[in-house]
Amino acid sequence: MLKQLTRSIAAAALLTCTTSYAATDALTAEQLAFIDELVVEHGFEREALAALLSQTEPNQEILDAIQRPWEAKPWHQYYPIFLTEKRLAAGLEFWQEHAETLARAEQQFGVPAEVIVAIIGVETFYGSYLGKYQVLDALTTLGFHYPPRQTFFRSELKEFLLLTRAEKLSPTELKGSYAGAMGYGQFISSSYRHYAIDFDADGVRDLLSNPVDAIGSVANYFLKNGWRPQQRVAVELPATAANADLASDGLKLTATIAELQKQGLDLPENTELDGDMKAKVFRFEQPDDADYWLGLHNFYVITRYNRSPLYAMVVHQFSQQLAAAR
């Protein structure tokens, strides 16, 4: 586990690094302006940041990866990646191993254990795949060399540098996804800073190698993003023409169930839902047709973790598999 030794060695990496002014010659005007911002707003040492950023180079593999995310696949190609017997077995084993922690998280945050287990399973197969890219390289590549989302990733780079300074981590040693997500739950840097908690009370918020902290932090993330305990996530709908007409793109729940029913929403028999609840009909492509689901508030909350209805649906279905098999 990444504990005191790694952290103590890493602690001074960003703060004590020194360089000659030649390091700034390799930096772009945008990078120099970024450094100025961190120096003025957050008290970083200019030479240390210049030396750090001068070590990075654009990574074409990262630029290629961000343009072909799994969530761009149709549903019938997406869900088989995650809904497998192997992942289900690993999830049940993880649940058994951390049953007490998961129960405590569910009681404290109101997020079902199966949802937490599903998230960690989908994200990293329970810590087996934490990512192969240096987070610093990923964020500098996307923050300075990927115009479509450079504002977001430049902000995440700032969050990453603040995170590593506060948590005494080495910015050059951390690895994660091509988008710079880290740890069991693949938190981006801003989420790590805002939602990570020390769930085992050892004085460290360690999402990188501590599953207990990861469990608590995933639950905290959902609660802080509006999870409503004891409420459903989604309802499977019959594949009728009326429901097909109501399906639309986007994530926000813009109509109430009562309003959708006036527009022709066809619910399964004996389905009891509050007509004042907001909801949205989602279409999930199959090879020859489609599945239709009514996404409810907690479905939307899952999309705050990953902005994709496919992701939210695979987490929901996996959580249901886990609960049924336990």
Q: What ranges make up the beta strands (E) of the chain?
A: 133-134, 175-176, 234-237, 255-256, 278-285, 290-295
- Alpha carbons 82 and 123: distance in angstroms, whole number: 9
User: What is the distance of C-alpha 315 from the center of its chain?
Assistant: 12
Residue 226 burial by Cβ neighbours in a 10 Å radius (0-12, 13-18, 19+): exposed
Pairing of strands 175-176, 133-134: antiparallel
Number of other residues whose CB lies within 10 A of the CB of residue 218: 30
Q: Which of 114, 123, 156, 167 is the catalytic position? A: 123
Inter-residue contact 157 to 165 (CB < 8 Å): no
Rg (the chain; Cα; Å)? 22
User: What is the distance of C-alpha 144 from the center of its chain?
Assistant: 22
- Alpha carbons 112 and 162: distance in angstroms, whole number: 32
- Alpha carbons 286 and 292: distance in angstroms, whole number: 10
Question: Using CA of residue 84, residue 89, residue 94, residue 95, what is the dihedral sign?
Answer: positive
To which residue do tokens 């499977």 refer?
236
123 is catalytic: yes
- Catalytic sites, residue numbers: 123
